[in-house]
Amino acid sequence: MTLVDRVLLTVYALAVALISIFVISAFLGLPPAWNAMAILNALSAWQAVPIAALFFLFSIRVLLSGLRKERSSKTAITQKTELGEVRISLDALQNVAQRAALSVRGIREARTGVHSAEDGLVINTRVATSIQDNVPTLSATLQGIVKQSVEESTGMSVKEVRVLIDDIAPANKVRVR
């Protein structure tokens, strides 16, 4: 639930509580001047319809925020050990994978993303390489090194390493002056 939804829910709950108290006291006739029919007759359609529409919209918004599936806000993966629980953030796993990718000879740039699957981690890697490198061999090497590095460093099972060759550039030429 977002901050806007929480503020709307608070305002909505307070308004409904005040209206409920007002209606209950009017029907019980607690202040003698208040009569339920007199209150209903005092409101015109131009006053009642916008208020009712506002409450209807608030109700729909609150209902949808309660039914909406929460985004995957999982920022860490938990491992249970004999001594307790260890949580490793997805950012830490991403950093391990990125460092491993950059350690592969022929990779000029690398960006990684990590998410959790049911039977292990899935690592997405976007890399830039030079034209003189053999892409299939480089990709296989990259996948193996990233998988091995993450598994050895964290003890987590890597299900899949996906590689996207984002850029193949000419090799940097060294100029002599």
Indicate whether 82 pLDDT > 80: yes
Rounded to a whole number, what is the distance in angstroms from the first to the last CA of the chain? 62
Averaged pLDDT for residues 29-36: 65
76-169 CATH choice from 3.90.320.10, 3.30.70.1350, 3.40.640.10, 1.20.1200.10: 3.30.70.1350
Domain regions of the chain by residue span: 3-67, 76-169
Is this prediction's pTM over 0.75? Answer: no
CB 35 within 8 A of CB 29: yes
Indicate whether 160 pLDDT > 90: yes
